[in-house]
Amino acid sequence: MNKELEFQNIYQQNYPRVIGLCLGYVKGNEFLAKDLAQEVFLKVFQNLPHFKQQSKVSTWIYRITVNTCLLELRKKKYVDLKTDVENEETSNPIETENRFEKMYKCIDSLSTENRSIILLELEEVPQNEIAEIIGISHAAIRTRIHRIKDQLSNCVKHERF
Amino acid sequence: MSDFNNIKQQWAQRQIPLPQEKDINNIIEKSKTIKKKQITGQIVLVTTVLVLIWFFFYVSAYQNSRAFLGLGIMIGSLLLRIGIEFLSMTKKTYIPEDQDMKSYILKIIRYYKQRKFIHFLVTPLLFLSYIFGFWLLLPVFKVELSAGFYTYILVSSTVIFVALAILIIFQIRKELSLLKEFILGT
């Protein structure tokens, strides 16, 4: 299969995961998330010939996504972003917006590493894959996720911003 | 249902933008443009080196020991700076983004720490030696050029040196703040 066709398949299959994760890094701001996702797929395209199939394609793409988002966010300093959320399934849009805003702000208040871990957990990435993406042991990830879950739940429940 | 499961359920209900066919072509095109730019950059670099060497012989700088030394120092420091910058950029390009996050961040921090060494030691030294080379050339200019043109060279070069110094300081501050952000974020 030629490189462009292979990339096209990878893009179609993985775009929802990538954009979903990017949205988490930019407090749900769709415009910035799309910008980040484009940067991620550019790197995927450039690195495609070097992909050695030692891990799953999705794990490989998640690694690129996490690293790209971290680097680009620091370069461009996306600070004090306005939270931009949309949800079709709930009847009260203001209530939904407030809930998402709180959730995004709580995620944003976590450390770089914890934020990446919990975003991957929220995207339902298996814990052994999260360990591979972050670069720590599976056991350490398990303990860490447990702690971050409590931290995040408490924040969403009690914190005011 | 636990609080976290609630959060997870809400998270799954977010509206996710759909992939666009035109974005695929944009990415492929962008990648090709980047590659072309890299090749152009390398051509410009090689051409600059060749032009400087040609200029050195064209003005017969080797016949005047002061001009030889002055121009030699200027060309040498410029070439050294361009070479270091080129190597540094190449090095960053080769930090693979597909490794685990911890290794990636460590490599990025190491890279910016090396840049710190370049910014605080190498760049000021090369900048000063460039000015020193220029200062050595001034008496040659004074003898060879008209008074008006000599003054023009003196004033315009001073302005260029000040502007360059400001630009370098600005760039250094930008990179240092990036390094600080990375160290604080880990």
Buried b (16+ CB within 10 A) or exposed e, B124-150: eebbebbbebbebbeebbeeeeeeeee
Find out whether B133 and B71 touch, Cβ atoms under 8 Å: yes
Q: A–B: how many Cβ contacts below 8 A?
A: 127
CATH number of residue A40's parent domain = 1.20.140.160
A86 pLDDT higher than 60:
no
Average pLDDT over every residue of A68-97: 64
When comparing pLDDT for A156 and A11, which is higher? A11
The pLDDT value given to residue A128 = 93
The pLDDT value given to residue B14 = 83
Q: What does the pLDDT look like over A93-126, one tens digit per residue?
A: 666 667 778 888 889 888 889 999 999 999 999 9
Range of the domain at A68: 3-158
| B182 contacts A74? CB cut-off 8 A | yes
The pLDDT value given to residue B75 = 85
When comparing pLDDT for A81 and A137, which is higher? A137
By Cβ distance, the residue of B3, B28, B102 closest to A156 is B3
Sequence-ordered list of residues with C-beta below 8 angstroms from that of A101, at least 6 positions apart, any chain: A27, A83, A85
A89 pLDDT higher than 90:
no
Question: What are the mean pLDDT values of chain B's consecutive 10-residue runs (186 residues total)?
Answer: 79 85 89 86 80 77 80 87 83 83 90 84 90 91 88 92 89 79 63
Q: How far is A23 from B66, CA to CA, in rounded Å?
A: 62
By Cβ distance, the residue of B11, B98, B103 closest to A122 is B11
Q: How far is B49 from A51, CA to CA, in rounded Å?
A: 36
Q: How far is A146 from A97, CA to CA, in rounded Å?
A: 26
By Cβ distance, the residue of B2, B17, B182 closest to A34 is B17
The pLDDT value given to residue A78 = 55
CA B138 to chain centre: 28
| Sign of the dihedral defined by the CA atoms of residues A89, A90, A93, A99, in that order | negative
CA A137 to chain centre: 20
Report chain B residues whose CB lies below 8 A from the CB of A77: 181
For the record, the structure tokens of B182 come out as 């990375």
A72 pLDDT higher than 80:
yes
> How many domains is chain A partitioned into structurally?
1
Q: How far is CA B90 from CA A30, A69, B94, B111, in A?
A: 32, 21, 6, 11
- How many helices and strands (H and E) does chain B possess? 6, 0
Sequence-ordered list of residues with C-beta below 8 angstroms from that of B42, at least 6 positions apart, any chain: none
Q: How far is B89 from chain A (nearest CA, A)?
A: 15
What is the DSSP code (8-state) at residue A125?
A: -
Which amino acid is present at A112? Answer: T
Average pLDDT over every residue of A123-132: 93
Q: How far is A160 from chain B (nearest CA, A)?
A: 17
Side-chain half-sphere of B7: how many Cα atoms within 13 Å?
27
CA B165 to chain centre: 14
Q: Which of A61-65, A82-86, A155-159, B177-181 has the lowest mean pLDDT?
A: A82-86
The yes/no answer to whether this complex scores an ipTM above 0.90 is no
- Whole-model pTM: value is 0.78
Average pLDDT over every residue of A132-151: 93
Q: How far is A94 from A69, CA to CA, in rounded Å?
A: 28
Widest pairwise Cα distance in chain A: 53
When comparing pLDDT for B4 and A43, which is higher? A43
Report chain B residues whose CB lies below 8 A from the CB of A15: 18-19
Model confidence at A82, in pLDDT bands (50, 70, 90)?
low
Q: How far is A108 from A122, CA to CA, in rounded Å?
A: 14
Name the nearest CA neighbour of A65 among A39, A45, A84.
A39
